[in-house]
Amino acid sequence: MAMEMNDPKQVMTALRGTALEGHEVQEGPSGTLVVEGPDSTAMLPLWRAAREAVPVTGRWPVMTDFEDLKPEPTPEEGAAFAAAAQTSDPWTIFGDPRGDYEAWQITDYLDACLGSGAGRRDDPRLTGITQGGLDRWVYEQMLADPALAARGMARAAQLSSTKNWYSDSDVRLVLLPTPAQWLAPQWLFYYGAERDRGPEALGAAILRWEQRWGAQLVASWGTMLQFLATRPPVDPEDAWQLAGELMTVGSSLQHERWELALALPHGDAWFVHCRP
């Protein structure tokens, strides 16, 4: 992997022959470079062009805006961040805020998810079950019943698609001064990581997702992160585990874990959301 290019003209040369040819590259804040004049309605192909050039430019591209950029870290801060991100357990730092369900909530939840009377309501595991346990129980019902699974996928299909991805009219294609995407939280503000050791935990999560699923950070919007995965999960257990991780980092996601687990094997787009 190349060291990052700091000369905008060098980067423009590296981008010749791509969808970004002809776009000016300027110095940006916090040690970044910024591609000027991108079409906000066609950002994904432009991001892909910049991503493919990372081995040459040494800079990871992210769609974002300047409001979500942090000050550039010092070399000492960068080294400490990298060490922490490579040794942290992100899931213990982000935690799981979900609690238990009362009996009436269980019935309402199952009616909403499965339809009235569907599923084994006499299953003893439903007594005193946690919210996480109930999600898992519904997921198992879906996997065991093709009709229920089809109904669930009808609800969940958009969760692994870029069709509903957020985009800002003031979007910038920012080239971070690192080729390693898991170091991006040093420059990018994400509300869900604003806690003790949070940025390092987010870096650790991105590193794990990259290694396991080929996940690539595409966009950062302060309260939202968007990824593309080159190796989406195939096994239902892997999809369930990954869904839990994404919802731990994105605690404001409004769908259920079983919905996301159903959707992940059928698309390559991930969306993480945490807001005040």
pLDDT digit string, tens, across residues 133-152: 889 989 999 999 998 899 88
| 172 exposure class (CB count in 10 Å sphere: 0-12, 13-18, 19+) | buried
Same domain, 238 and 171: yes
The pTM score is 0.93
Query: Does position 33 have pLDDT exceeding 80, yes or no?
Result: yes
Question: Do residues 175 and 240 both lie within one domain?
Answer: yes
Structure tokens at 162: 């870029």
136 with 225, same domain: the answer is no
Same domain, 180 and 261: yes
Q: Are residues 251 and 262 in the same domain?
A: yes
pLDDT at 39: 81
Do 166 and 235 share a domain, yes or no? yes
Q: What is the mean pLDDT of residues 223-230?
A: 98
What one-letter code names the amino acid at 258? Answer: W
- What integer pLDDT is reported at residue 167 of this predicted model? 85
- Which percentage of the chain shows pLDDT scores above 90? 70
Q: Is residue 260 part of a domain?
A: yes
Question: Residue 111: its pLDDT value, please?
Answer: 82
Reported confidence tier of residue 229, pLDDT bands at 50, 70, 90: very high
| Predicted local distance difference test score (pLDDT) of residue 95 | 76
Whether residues 29 and 133 fall in one domain: no
Which amino acid makes up residue 221? W
Q: Which of 158, 178, 199 is the last residue of a domain?
A: 158
Residue 176 pLDDT exceeds 70: yes
For residue 188, give its domain range. 8-94+160-273
Average pLDDT along the chain: 91
Cα separation of 216 and 232, whole Å? 12
Q: Is the same domain home to 120 and 250?
A: no
The answer to whether residue 1 is domain-embedded is no
Determine the pLDDT at residue 129: 78
| Tally of domains in the chain | 2
Helix (H, G, I), strand (E, B) or coil at 216: strand
